[in-house]
Amino acid sequence: MSLKIFAFSCGTMTAEFARVMDGGAGDVTMPIPAFLIEHPKGRALFDTGPHPDCQRDPTARIGKEMASAYRLSFQPGEEISAHLEAIDRDPGKIDLLINSHFHFDHVGGNALIPNATLLVQRREWEASRDPDKAALHGYDPRDFDVGHKVRLIDGEYDVFGDGSVTCLPTPGHSPGHQSLRLKLANGTVVLAADASFFRRTLRERRLPRYIDDRDSLLASLDRLQALEQGGARILFGHDPDCWNIPPQKDDNIEY
């Protein structure tokens, strides 16, 4: 068994640093990552970036408040389908979509991957059906309820049945947020997504301003820290330093 990982940046977004990390000053420009995981049993995408409509008119797509808070730089060719085609992968032949959660910058490209089965935590799916939660988080069913077969999962989930790719519940940022653990030939990598925006989020417990549940997020950070102390490499959700200069060379991940 071997995995091959491709890391893409579906544009960037610029926000007030204090909005996304307690104590941040000024603005921060953050990558919007998505990952292709190739396994002998199939291909999976972990998150899909924003919807291509955001390239033309983000305000019309995600609303004035969100577009003002997260200023997008997202050009044609940076959508997830274009990234896949650039490495000769057919977006119509992706088997699984694994969404960390349903915020616009993680699920907007789902519709570009038409034939996959969607894997999401049941708590996230149910929260998207709750009018209060949906309004709080800005969930837009045009992003994630677009006709895919849906597999709702509860807690840890072994994606391919061999322990190589595992969904890890890391709630707090959103009700059913999940991260992804990958067991590569040279060690374990955890795709934290928004459970930990930045390295400093984990190291110093500097949380974003707007989260679903503080205690749950702190517990999720404890879980990520335990994985790191056990030897795992954490890829932080939106950390420009980690994206521009990967913390260590990894022949199993292509940027």
Confidence of residue 1 (pLDDT cuts 50, 70, 90): low
**For 39-97, what is each residue's pLDDT tens digit?**
999 999 999 999 999 999 999 999 999 999 999 999 999 999 999 999 999 999 999 99
Mean pLDDT of 166-172: 98
Confidence of residue 243 (pLDDT cuts 50, 70, 90): confident
User: Stretch 125-153: mean pLDDT, rounded?
Assistant: 94
**Domain coverage including residue 154:** 4-254
Read off the pLDDT band of 247 (50, 70, 90). Answer: very low
Among 235, 195, 10, which Cα is nearest to 100's? 195
Number of residues in the chain: 255
Question: Given a cut of 60, is residue 222 above it in pLDDT?
Answer: yes
Mean pLDDT throughout 137-166?
A: 96
DSSP secondary-structure letter at 108?
T
Percent of the chain having pLDDT more than 90?
90
- The number of domains in the chain is 1
Q: What does the alpha-carbon distance between residue 163 and residue 99 come to, in Å, rounded to a whole number?
A: 19
Q: What is the pLDDT of residue 2?
A: 84
Give the mean model confidence (pLDDT) for residues 11-21.
Answer: 97
DSSP code of residue 21: S
d(C-alpha 215, C-alpha 172), whole Å:
7
What pLDDT is stored for residue 250 in this prediction? 56
Instruction: Please answer whether residues 57 and 51 qualify as being in contact, where contact means their C-beta atoms are separated by less than 8 angstroms.
Output: no
- H-run or E-run covering 46: strand 42-46
Radius of gyration of the chain (CA): 17
Q: Are strands 27-39 and 42-46 parallel, antiparallel or unpaired?
A: antiparallel
CATH number at residue 203: 3.60.15.10
Are the C-beta atoms of 54 and 72 separated by less than 8 Å? yes
Instruction: Give the pLDDT mean for 211-220.
Output: 97
